[in-house]
Amino acid sequence: MTAETQELKDVGLKITHPRIKIMRILLTSEVRHVSAEDVYRLLLGNNEEVGLATVYRVLTQFESAGLVTRHHFEGGHSVFELSPEHHHDHIVCIKCGHVEEFADPDIEARQSEIAKRLGFELTDHDLNMYGICADCR
C-alpha cells in the first residue's frame, strides 16, 4: 500500500484514481503551498486526466478530513497545503510568491489569551505577513 492510499484509508475516504493522483501531487510537489489550479496544472503536466471540478471537490474533502489546510492569502484564491504536523504561520513574498513558514509559541500564546479575553471560542486563525524576500531585493 502506497503512502497516498494509506492517507486516504486513514480518513475513511474511498480510494479512487483522482484522489490518489491528487494526494500524490500534494505529497511530491516541490512547492508546499498550491492552489487548485496549481494542482490541476501539475496533474496535466503528469499526463493525468482529472477534471478541475474534481480537483476542487477533492481538495475540499481533504480539507474536511483534516488532510489539507486551506489558507486565504491576498490575491483572491485559496491555497492548500498538506496539514502540518505542527501548526505554523506564513510570510509571503509579494514579488515572487515564495512562502516561508514559521512558528512562534509566544504569538500563539498571546492569541489564545486575547481570544479568551474577548469571549471567543477560537476555532482557527491565520497569521500572514507580506513582504519582499531577500532574493527579490
Closer CB to a copy of itself, 9 or 77, in the complex: 77
Residues 86-115 that bind a copy of itself (CB under 8 A): 91, 93-94, 100, 102, 104, 106-107, 110-111, 114-115
65 binds, among a copy of itself, DNA, none (CB under 5 to 8 A by kind): none
Cβ atoms of residues 54 and 43 within 8 Å? no
- Pattern 46-65, DNA, x by CB under 7 A: ---xxxxxx-xxx-x-----
DSSP string, 14-76: ---HHHHHHHHHHHH-S-S-B-HHHHHHHHHHTT----HHHHHHHHHHHHHHTSEEEE--TTS
122 binds, among a copy of itself, DNA, none (CB under 5 to 8 A by kind): a copy of itself
Contacts of 65 (CB under 8 A, 6+ apart): 11, 12, 13
Q: How far apart are CA 137 and CA 23, in angstroms?
A: 35
Please report whether residue 37 would count as binding a copy of itself according to CB under 8 A: no
Choosing from 10, 37, 49, 126, the residue that interacts with a copy of itself (CB under 8 A) is: 126
Which parts of this chain interact with DNA (CB under 7 A)? 13-19, 35-37, 49-54, 56-58, 60, 76-78
